[in-house]
Chain A
């Protein structure tokens, strides 16, 4: 990223993905940059809009089955996101977003849909839905402290050789297949089942993504009302 240009945050398909307040994640990234005096802008990319390849960070949220299939369809017909990831762009994908970025995912009746293959994961449907609080101890190479969140999904996601888990599940279910882990990390693409405003609950994760973007440790944050953030 050139030092004097604004960080571009692309929100993918907020019109159809974002069931659990996921759009808050872009707000958190934007504010944490701005409070540190860095220029930034949010671009909301609707499902019928062309996807720009030039954003520095992309966030993609969760949604119901139909929305997920439509999102995968739109992203596959356009190489922009894959091109961006190839050049080092950062992606945060939660819930359905994580599944869409995988190699394939199964629909509600078991039919397979092709994903983007940006994460080496595959997802089938579990018999029972997983709903509840989740705590994840992240890979220490990423972050030292536990992440907390809420999960509400029916996916069972298996990691392939190229993807590492985000962390070990201490409470809750996470990926729901094989080892008790959550999420997937590959290059600068980070996926998780901690849905909704995961970055608001876990500011250290927000700052990790922003350090990936800026390529340097971020200065300590002084938030407007003096609260710890």
Chain B
């Protein structure tokens, strides 16, 4: 059996190399696909005898897994799918690349989580949040919650680290044999108004919530309190992050709680988490002919709402680029759930394949804007100085590559 796996991994690595030589990308997904084609059980075999942590949820997967990998790296080697390829082929590629690392931190696409949990017997599953996202690809979020609930109720030794402030996450983790509840906050509550278990309205009061059926906010061992972390032993640790914004403080407390529960020293983990300044090219600033452009990714209403709060501290015009390719979801109705009205008084540029639909949304939000389909050309049309690019998945990827090539 091991021979088959070795052959599969070698063939996958070769395919990845060919793909890179042909300049068809980083070759991660093709290498994982080839490995899985030769050994369909490769994921299970590659995960065996390692401590595996899975990170899933609608927003923050990539960032949280980078933070967790940094925390675990204080104690040794870590295998991780850092480029964000988070379906089984991407996970296989990440585990194949580093067969010696005793720890693996893997972000997992949420519809694939049940299958991956079953294959890798994880030490922990981190469930950050659940909200509407790519509804034509992922499906509706209450159905997803029901699937995750069944998957997490199974494995007896897996620790489920769950955000107690998120109704759907709590419901998904409620039946798990071992849970660690973290109060990471959940400002987007539009998908937590109706109980996923009994269909009655959820009651919200003073930052807590409950339902008549008994589902209620669990008492959290770890919690985020502005820029401090409350620990289970009643300490208040300062959260000093290089990454901006409330959402990243939430990601950090989830990562910290998980790392500590699995034996990493809290101070060391906190320092490592604080040093992470860039995640897969996100949050960094690039120069575009005299314009300092901050690159932000936002893919769905909850993620966009958090990103809009970041803009308060980032001056200059905002370029919003939205595509609707396979990986983005084809339906852009979600633009109407994004509170663009917040940006009144600021100038925006509508970009991407769906520039017209962004422009229509901005028109009705009464936000001053103009339209330029190509984000790079949009940036070139701005006065020198600071600017922000907010883009969804493929729009971000393409714009970031184009800016790097030009630099």
Contacts and interface: CB of A to CB of B under 8 A. Distances in A.
A223 B336 contact: no
Nearest to A48: B201
A157 B200 CA distance: 26
B358 to A, nearest CB: 11
Contacts of A24: 333, 336, 361, 364
Contacts of A195: 333
B335 interface: yes
Interface stretch (A15-23, A75-83, A84-92, A171-179): A15-23
A21 B336 contact: yes
A64 interface: yes
B140 A23 contact: no
Contact of A196 (B200, B333, B360, B364): B333
Contact of B363 (A21, A131, A132, A225): A225
Contacts of A31: 364, 366
B275 interface: no
A47 B333 CA distance: 23
A64 B140 contact: yes
B194 A67 contact: yes
Given A28-B364, A200-B364, A66 B330 contact: no
B364 A131 contact: no
Contact of B201 (A16, A27, A150, A200): A16
Given A24-B364, A150-B331, A196-B331, A64 B142 contact: yes
Given A66-B199, A152-B331, A196-B333, A15 B142 contact: no
Interface string A65-76: 111011000000
A127 to B, nearest CB: 16
Nearest to A73: B199
B45 interface: no
Interface string B262-284: 00000000000000000000000
A64 B143 contact: yes
Given A48-B201, A196-B336, A225-B368, A19 B136 contact: no
Interface string A31-60: 100000000000000011000000000000
B337 A21 contact: yes
Interface size band for A: 35 or more
Contacts of B132: 19
B113 to A, nearest CB: 19
Q: B-side binding surface: helix, strand, loop or mixed? A: helix
Given A200-B360, A200-B364, A225 B369 contact: yes
Given A19-B132, A66-B142, 20 more contacts: A15-B201, A16-B194, A19-B135, A20-B333, A21-B334, A21-B335, A21-B337, A23-B337, A64-B141, A67-B199, A70-B199, A133-B330, A196-B336, A197-B333, A197-B361, A200-B361, A200-B364, A223-B363, A224-B366, A227-B363
A67 B143 CA distance: 12
Interface string A140-166: 000000000010100000000000000
B336 A69 contact: no
Interface size band for B: 20 to 34
A200 B335 CA distance: 11
Contacts of A27: 336, 364
6 tightest Cβ-Cβ pairs between the two chains A and B = A196-B333, A21-B336, A24-B336, A66-B199, A21-B333, A20-B333
A227 B143 CA distance: 40
Contacts of B359: 227
Given A24-B336, A150-B331, A196-B336, A69 B199 contact: yes
B50 interface: no
B193 interface: yes
11 contacts: A15-B193, A19-B132, A20-B135, A21-B334, A27-B336, A47-B201, A65-B142, A150-B330, A197-B333, A200-B361, A200-B364
A6 B69 CA distance: 57
Interface of B: 132, 135-136, 140-143, 190, 193-194, 196, 199-201, 301, 330-331, 333-337, 357, 359-361, 363-364, 366, 368-369
A229 interface: yes
B135 A152 contact: yes
A21 B337 CA distance: 5
B219 to A, nearest CB: 26
Nearest to A203: B360
A23 B337 CA distance: 8
Contacts of B135: 19-20, 152
A200 B199 CA distance: 31
A195 B337 CA distance: 13
A150 B137 CA distance: 13
A77 to B, nearest CB: 14
Contacts of A67: 194, 199
A48 B203 CA distance: 11
Residue of B196, B201, B336, B369 with most chain A CB atoms under a 10 A cut-off: B336
A42 to B, nearest CB: 13
A131 B330 CA distance: 10
Contact of B336 (A200, A224, A225): A200
Nearest to A198: B333
B193 A16 contact: yes
Given A66-B142, A200-B360, A152 B136 contact: yes
A90 B364 CA distance: 22
A19 to B, nearest CB: 6
Contacts of B335: 21, 197
B140 A19 contact: yes
